[in-house]
């Protein structure tokens, strides 16, 4: 954030300073930017850092107004972003937009091959169902519904059941596949390495990579203590124990703080009420004549 500029109140020769809602500093109008859609005003430097941070983290393809209380819930236009960020950030922003467009387009999808980044056009069918699709780049034939290798005359669930029975089958959309859909918002997620606890950047849903079961409420990661995903978290046992100790310590700390503060609040209640009574009596006393 840039340092705010101040000048004496008696200096009336210049234009008045404007306040930035992000850094709360005051700047001359030439150092401020007004969003065309919602007319919210921010200093140019703060707005630039905000836009570059969103693009770098890939949180959303559309950059919303930084003011959480914006009455119009405005968004930055593409020409405003182009004038604000570096060429590398702009290229990443356009790529995020394109990925979002492909995701929402029922007639397009990404090639299921992890080594191919081509966009494939899906055949139109009414009602939508399993249809053969071919990647124009790597010539891979795959199913438009489950994105596994094309399986004519067989349902997608039948192939999944056969794959579970025969672990030696080639991995298509199986547990070993590096690309899967988020079980909540259906966004494609690629996992190169790391632990099996995944969090979707699009909807913030936490889930297990292997079985896609929700981990939103599993703070202690008990899911990996039993069942088919046992010991598949990808961390050592000591690391898991340390994680659980930290989580339990945080909850215990809040509980202890509440336990200590409760008696003090009960003891302070009569004094607070007494002070209020005295104040009300003083307000009700007639003025001396």
Is cis: bond before 127, omega within 30 of 0? Answer: yes
* pLDDT tens-digit series, residues 30-53: 889 998 889 889 999 999 988 888
For domain 18-100, give the CATH number: 3.30.40.10
Hunting for tokens 């990996």 — which residue is that? Answer: 224
Higher pLDDT, 254 or 2: 254
Tokens standing for residue 247: 């989580």
Q: Name, in order, each residue with C-beta under 8 angstroms of 17's C-beta and a sequence gap of 6 or more.
A: 5, 6, 7, 26, 27, 28
pLDDT (0 to 100) of residue 81: 86
Q: Does the structure show a pLDDT above 60 at 8?
A: no
Average pLDDT over residues 80-101: 84
In order of 27, 35, 38, 46, 132, the CA distances from 17 in angstroms are 5, 18, 20, 16, 63
DSSP 208-243: ETTT--B-TT-TT-GGGGSSTTTT-SSS-HHHHHHH
According to DSSP, residue 143 is labeled E
Tell me the per-residue pLDDT of 214-262, one tens digit each, with 9 for 90 and over.
999 888 888 888 888 888 888 777 777 877 788 788 878 777 877 777 7
Average pLDDT, the chain: 76
User: Could you tell me the residue ranges of all domains in the chain?
Assistant: 18-100, 106-177, 178-251
The first and second tokens of residue 123, run together, are: 């055949």
Q: Which helix (H) or strand (E) holds 54?
A: helix 44-57
- Report which of 36, 117, 41, 50 is spatially closest to residue 89, judged by C-alpha positions: 50
pLDDT band at 185 (very low <50, low <70, confident <90, very high): confident
DSSP E strand boundaries for the chain: 18-19, 26-27, 32-34, 41-43, 108-110, 119-121, 132-134, 141-143, 179-181, 188-190, 197-199, 206-208
For the cut 50, the answer to whether the pLDDT of residue 80 exceeds it is yes
Identify the pLDDT of residue 168: 36
Which of the residues are catalytic?
195
Q: Is the pLDDT of residue 13 over 60?
A: no
Please say if the pLDDT value at position 276 is more than 70: no
Sort residue 129 into left (φ over 0), alpha (ψ -120 to 50) or beta: beta
User: Average of pLDDT values for 178-196?
Assistant: 74
Q: 36-45, 58-67, 151-160, 219-228: which has the minimum mean pLDDT?
A: 151-160
In the chain, the largest separation of any two C-alpha atoms, in whole Å, equals 101
């Amino acid at each position: 954030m840039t340092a705010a500029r101040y000048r004496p109140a008696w200096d009336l020769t210049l234009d008045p300073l404007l306040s930035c809602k992000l850094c709360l500093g005051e700047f001359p109008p030439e150092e401020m930017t007004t969003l065309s859609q919602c007319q919210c005003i921010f200093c140019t430097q703060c707005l630039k850092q905000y836009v570059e941070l969103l693009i770098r983290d890939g949180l959303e393809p559309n950059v919303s107004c930084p003011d959480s209380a914006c009455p119009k819930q405005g968004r930055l236009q593409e020409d405003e972003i182009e004038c604000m960020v570096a060429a590398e950030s702009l290229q990443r922003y356009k790529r995020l937009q394109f990925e979002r467009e492909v995701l929402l387009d029922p007639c397009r999808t990404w090639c299921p091959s992890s080594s191919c980044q081509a966009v494939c056009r899906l055949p139109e069918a009414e009602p939508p169902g399993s249809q053969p699709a071919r990647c124009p780049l790597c010539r891979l034939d795959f199913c438009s519904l489950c994105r596994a290798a094309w399986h004519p005359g067989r349902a997608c669930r039948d192939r999944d059941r056969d794959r579970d029975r025969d672990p030696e089958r080639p991995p298509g959309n199986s547990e070993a596949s590096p690309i899967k859909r988020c079980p909540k918002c259906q966004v494609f997620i690629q996992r190169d390495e790391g632990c099996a606890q995944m969090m979707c950047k699009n909807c913030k849903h936490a889930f297990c990579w292997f079985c896609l079961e929700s981990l939103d409420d599993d703070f202690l990661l008990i899911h990996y203590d039993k069942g088919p995903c046992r010991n598949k978290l990808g961390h050592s046992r000591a690391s898991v124990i340390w994680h659980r100790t930290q989580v339990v310590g945080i909850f215990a700390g809040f509980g202890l703080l509440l336990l200590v503060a409760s008696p003090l609040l009960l003891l302070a209640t009569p004094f607070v009420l007494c002070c209020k009574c005295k104040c009300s009596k003083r307000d009700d006393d007639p003025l001396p004549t």
